[in-house]
Amino acid sequence: MEEQPAYFVKSVEKAFDVLLAFTPDSPKLTVSQVAARADMTRASARRFLMTLADLGYVHAEGPNFELTARSLDIGRSFLANLSLPGVAEPHLKSLAAKLNETTSLCILDGADVVYIVCVPSPRLLSVSIRVGTRFPAWATSMGRVLLAALPEPELQSYLGSVELRRFTEHSIGSPDRLRAELEATRAKGWSMVSEELEEGLRGVAVPVRRGNEVVAAVNVSLQTHRASADDLEKTVIPRLQETARQIALDYSGRDEAAAAR
């Protein structure tokens, strides 16, 4: 086990383990469930939960605990300072209305993509997507766009450590094939992933750039029966690229205006 630095406060790590035990699929948990997920004793889990309840971050209802709205405070400053979600959301809403499909904006965080804006389609997908949702980057069109933009040393490190899980029979099964897909994504400037995360679900994504830097990826998710891959390439991807361009222009414009003040 790797030794922690002298300044490391174990109780802070444990508190976040407790908070992160709650997920969109498991919003309500008992003390025993939190203890199992956070790898601690039931007595320790109870103390952390009661403390977090006193601070207003969780709420107890009978034997169950759940996060409160105050837990959003932890990430609110990050999203506010990022400013990109606010810039992107009107453009994504416009695209979603035109296509009648789900549109999203994602960033790369470690080995995952994280949704920072999501405009859902009226047609509900069985994959539940909301702000903060994470998926393995390799299994999504957004993730492949973002991975393709990594410097070679970072990409090499990623490919050497990534664990490829078979979500469906279509999922990529080897790092070599993934690298080939990423090289193709880099060359095309967009990615399409069909039924690798879930049967019947297809996603397309393009990068959002600020100067030469890829800062995010915009995506359209839809059911495979809605359009063929060829149709998406001809109709959806050009609109997605234009949306990414508009987001990039607005985002860079804000940065330049702020720098001029």
CATH number at residue 138: 3.30.450.40
| Same domain (yes/no): 19, 107 | no
Coarse DSSP helix, strand, coil percentages of the chain, rounded to the nearest 5 percent: 50, 20, 30
Q: What is the pLDDT of residue 254?
A: 46
Residue ranges, the chain, pLDDT below 50: 1, 126, 254-261
- Report the distance separating Cα 217 and Cα 110, nearest Å: 15
What residues does 202 pair with on adjacent strands?
Answer: 194, 222
Q: What is the pLDDT of residue 18?
A: 96
Domain of residue 66: give its range.
Answer: 10-72
Which residues have C-beta within 8 Å of that of residue 203, sequence separation ≥ 6? 140, 141, 142, 192, 193, 197, 219, 220, 221, 222
| 85-109 tens-digit pLDDT | 888 999 999 999 898 888 999 999 9
Report the predicted TM-score, pTM, of the whole model to 2 decimal places.
0.69
Look up residue 2 and give its DSSP letter. P
| Same domain (yes/no): 26, 61 | yes
Tally of domains in the chain: 2
Q: What is the pLDDT of residue 256?
A: 43
Asked whether residue 1 is domain-assigned, the answer is no
Q: What is the pLDDT of residue 229?
A: 83
Look up residue 68 and give its DSSP letter. -
End position of a domain, from candidates 72, 92, 117? 72
Nearest to 152 by CA among 140, 164, 162, 160: 160
Asked whether residue 2 is domain-assigned, the answer is no
| Same domain (yes/no): 48, 119 | no
| Same domain (yes/no): 50, 110 | no
| Same domain (yes/no): 214, 191 | yes
Asked whether residue 3 is domain-assigned, the answer is no
Q: What is the pLDDT of residue 78?
A: 66
- Report the distance separating Cα 60 and Cα 16, nearest Å: 18
Asked whether residue 78 is domain-assigned, the answer is no
For 49, the token pair is 């939960």
